[in-house]
Amino acid sequence: MVNRKIITFCLLFAASVFSLRALGKTDEDEKKPLNDEWILCITEFDFSLLGPARRIAGDVITRNLVDTLRSVSYRLRVSPEYAYYEGYAWQQSVNAAAKAISSKQDERTAMLYRGDPDWRYRRNLKKVDGEIEKLMEDYAIKEAEKPLINNEPRFGLSQSNINGTYPAPPAPGGERRFCQNQKADAFLAGSIREFHGRYYVRLQLFTLYTNSYVYDDDVIFSLEDAAGAVIEISARLTAVISGNKAAAIAVKADPPESQILINQNYAGRGNVEPREHPPGVITVAVAAEGYEPALVETELSAGELAEIEVSLSPLSYSDVNIEVPGAVDAAVYHGALYVGQAPLTLRLPLGQLGYVAAEAGDEEAKAVFTSPDMPGEAEVISLRTKIPLPSGERRVNKARGRYYWAWGGTWVTGIAAWITYGIYTSQNEALRESTSEEFLAKAKTMNIISMGAIALVSTAVVYEVYQIWRYLRTATENVTPIVRQGKVKK
C-alpha cells in the first residue's frame, strides 16, 4: 500500500515537472518581434542662400530642431509600413532558408567526387538527406508563416548623426540607396534661406517603405520669433515621425476682443476656428484690456478636437492717492508713463504691484507699492523728494575696493599678530630656564611688538566693519523703497 502511494506521488511529481518544462519551453519559443528600431538620418541642411552673417542663426535653428527630434522615443507603424517590413522580413527569412537548402544540396553533390568508401558514403548520404529534409520542412514553415514585426519600434538617429556628422543629402533618384547605405528607415532634408529679411525653413522627410517624400513643410519667421517657429514646425515633424495622428484645437473667448495665444504664438481674437496641432501639452493664454487674463493648459490626444471656452472676469479697481508734500507742480510717473501732477489719484486693479516716481525740478522721489486688496479701500502714497545722488556705479566700485583692502588688511595684521604672539609666548616660556639679560630684553621687545600687532588687528577689524557698512549703504542708497501706507476707507 505504501509502495503504491509512493509510486503515485512520483508519477504526479514527474507529470508536474514535465508540464512546467513544457510551459517554459513555450515561453522560450514564443516569437520575438523583428525590426525593433526605426532609424532616421538627418542630412546637412542647405545654407547656400544665407548670407555669412545669418549662417550662425541657421546653425542655431538646426541644432534646436535636432534637439527636439531627440525627444521622440518610439514610432507607431501604420498598416502599409507594417506590411512593407513584414514582407521584407518574410522575403529575407525565405531566402535564407532557400540558401541553406541549396548549400546542403551542393554538399550532397560534392560527396560523389570525394572518393569515400561505399559504407561511409551511404552513412554520410543518409545524414545529409535527413538534414535536407529538415531544412525543407523549415522552408515550408517560413514560407507559410509571416514573421512578427514590432508595431512600436524604438526611434533613433543614424550612426553618423550620433557621431556628430550630417551627411550631404542624396541627389534625386538616389534616395533609396542613401537610406540603405546609412542603414536608416528615413532621412530628413532641409534648407534655410533668407526671404525679405526673414528666415524661410523647408523640411522634407523621405521614408524607405514608401520610396518617396511623405512630408513637406515650411515656415517663414523673423529672428525674434525663431523660438516659437522652431517649436511649431518641430512639433508637426515630431507628430509625423512618431506616427501619431494630428490633434485639433478650437478656442472661444469672451469678450470678443480678447487676444488669444496658443503656445505663446498669436492665434487671433475672440474665436479661433479648429486648427491642427501636434498631440501633447498645449497652453492657451487669453487677455483683454480691463479683464483678468486667463491661462488654460491641456493635453491633446492624437485625433482629438479640443474645444476650449474661456470667459474673462472684469477687473476690480481701487484708488491710490499720490501726494508730494513740499513740492509744487511735481510731475508724477506711473512706471514710465506720465500721469499728471501731484496730488492725483490713480485708479488701479486690486492687489497690483506698481512703481511710481515724482520729479520736482532737480529733486525726485520713487517708490514701489501694492494697490489695496478691497474695492472699498484707498491708499495714500506720500513721496518726499530730494536731490538724487550722483551716478552710483563709480562710488559703489570705490566703496567695494576699500572694503576689499580692509578685508585684506585684517588678514595680514591678524597673521602678523598670531606669529608675533606665538614668538613672544615661546620666549616667555624660555625665560624660566634662562637668566640672560639680553634674552630678557628681546622678550620684552617682542611683547611690545605682539601687543602692537594685536592693537593693529583690532583697529583693522573695526575699519573693516566700517567699510562693510559703507559699502552696503552705498550700494543700496539708490534702491527704490517699498512703501505700504495705511489704508483709508472711502
The structural domains of the chain, with segments of one domain joined by +, span: 247-315, 317-382, 393-476
CATH number of 247-315: 2.60.40.1120
Check if CATH label 2.60.120 holds for domain 317-382.
no
Quote the pLDDT of residue 160: 87
The answer to whether the CB of 262 falls within 8 A of the CB of 271 is: no
Helices (H) and strands (E) in the chain, counts: 9, 20
The Cα–Cα gap between 180 and 469 comes to 72
The Cα–Cα gap between 96 and 34 comes to 15
C-alpha cell read off for 119: 559504407
CB atoms within 10 A of CB 131: 15
Residues 6+ away with beta carbon under 8 Å from 409: 460, 463, 464
pLDDT < 50 regions, the chain:
1-2, 5-29, 490
pLDDT tens-digit readout, 226-284: 777 777 777 778 777 777 666 788 999 999 999 998 877 788 888 888 877 766 778 89
CB atoms within 10 A of CB 19: 10
Quote the pLDDT of residue 197: 78
Residues 6+ away with beta carbon under 8 Å from 116: 124
Quote the pLDDT of residue 480: 63
Q: Long-range contacts of range 447-451, CB-CB < 8 Å, 24 or more positions apart? A: 449/420, 449/424, 450/417, 450/420, 450/421, 450/423, 450/424
Cα distances (angstroms) measured from residue 462 to each of 310, 419, 469? 63, 21, 11
Cα distances (angstroms) measured from residue 485 to each of 55, 334, 442, 467? 55, 17, 68, 33
DSSP characters over 329-365: S-EEEETTEEEEESSEEEEEETT-EEEEEEEETTEEE
The Cα–Cα gap between 343 and 330 comes to 8
The answer to whether the CB of 382 falls within 8 A of the CB of 330 is: no
Quote the pLDDT of residue 187: 92
Quote the pLDDT of residue 245: 65
